[in-house]
Amino acid sequence: MILRAVGMDTLLVALCWALAAAFGSDREDLAPDPEGPADAGRPWGGPSDGLRSRIRLETTPARPDDPIIVRYEIQNVDRRGRTVWHSGFWPNHRIDVTRPDGEPAPSTPAGLSLRRAFDPEGPREKNAGRNLEPGEVDAAWEPVDVRGLYALLAPGAYRIRVVYQEGRMEPVATNVLEVVLPGP
């Protein structure tokens, strides 16, 4: 009788596991999240089209003219593989910066040129797909100095966000990174 009871419990556990696997949730926020201790607490932007992304500040600016270098990464939060396209950074990524007064920060000439390169459906000189397994993170982009892209002249809190979009997919926006520029 005891052996039969143990066998039945094991059978029920196996049945529950099989049902959960077969009818599990397709919600993106339940996909694997392999963050390590170094990533704990760093926020992600909301999921979109099976992906989510985030940026982080490399170093906090201590002086008004210090560089503002951000690093970007994107993660597959879907339960199936997703492809992220590397076309250089600018054809399918856009960096948005908001001034302390809430208005968009003015672009530098270099920043304006790169913003014009953002064309999610445009032609590509190079376009390499990177397949991401569920939970996998792609951080294969070079850091970007936002100071060279925008005229950030006044002290205060600036808000930075990166948007990834390829073709007609829904845009994938990062977390909003607030960077406080000190006064002179």
Q: List the chain domain ranges.
A: 26-181
Q: How far apart are CA 93 and CA 52, in angstroms?
A: 13
Q: What is the DSSP letter of 49?
A: T
Say how far apart CA 86 and CA 92 lie, in whole Å. 8
pTM: 0.76
What pLDDT is recorded for position 143? Answer: 94
- pLDDT score, position 40: 56
Dump pLDDT digits (tens) for 27-60: 334 344 444 444 556 899 999 999 999 999 998 8
Please list the ranges in the chain whose pLDDT falls under 50.
1-38
E strands, 40-99, are 51-57, 69-76, 82-86, 93-98
Pick among 2.60.40.10, 3.90.1150.10, 2.60.120.260, 1.10.1370.30: CATH of 26-181: 2.60.40.10
Which pLDDT belongs to residue 57?
94
pLDDT at site 51 = 97
| Number of helices followed by number of strands (H, E) in the chain | 2, 10
Q: How far is CA 172 from the centre of its chain?
A: 7
pLDDT at site 34: 46
CA quadruple 108, 184, 178, 162: dihedral, nearest 10: 20
Q: If DSSP codes are grouped into helix, strand and coil, which group holds residue 160? A: strand
pLDDT at 13: 33
